[in-house]
Structure 1
Amino acid sequence: MKRIFSGITPSSSKGLHLGNFLGAVKPQVDLQAHGECMYFVANLHALNNVFNPEEIYKNTMNIFIEYLAFGVDPEKTTFFVESDI
């Protein structure tokens, strides 16, 4: 069984854009049928660009919401936050 591991940085308060969707999220949704998927939000990496912890938290939660809205299935995919490890 294949393992797919990928992450995204929550550095924008504007949410995911079309490039994120076409280049990352859609392929990640499609890969759910082909292996064990583990996707994470790299919130510690966001500290390089965003210096407000509340904004990073909000952006992190918004990414999870957007991934679910775009079709990532939490029954088939492991989601986690970088700082929780």
Structure 2
Amino acid sequence: MSQEDHMRCSSEEIERLCCELLDNCTSEQRAEEIRARISECSCCSSRLGSEEAVRQIVKGCDESTHAPEALREKISYQIHMSQTEVRWQG
């Protein structure tokens, strides 16, 4: 697939398809359809491969393994800062 063809791949579409496939929320037939669609583009195939590799690493993590405290604090802070409060004033 050429770069021009890859530009027709919607990032949102590929993200949705990867999640559908890897979150095991689809039938075997649908999984084959998704893999066929993603295989049409080498960039998208690479993206799926990377996502599968990351998920395998995460699955292999021992529950007793903990992030360093500084990292935990940084992530907690970022989550806190990214939350938005919406209030209805009617």
Q: Which has the higher contact order (CA 8 A, sep 6+)?
A: 1
TM-score (norm 1): 0.32
TM-score (norm 2): 0.31
- Larger helix percent: 2
The structure with the larger Rg is 2
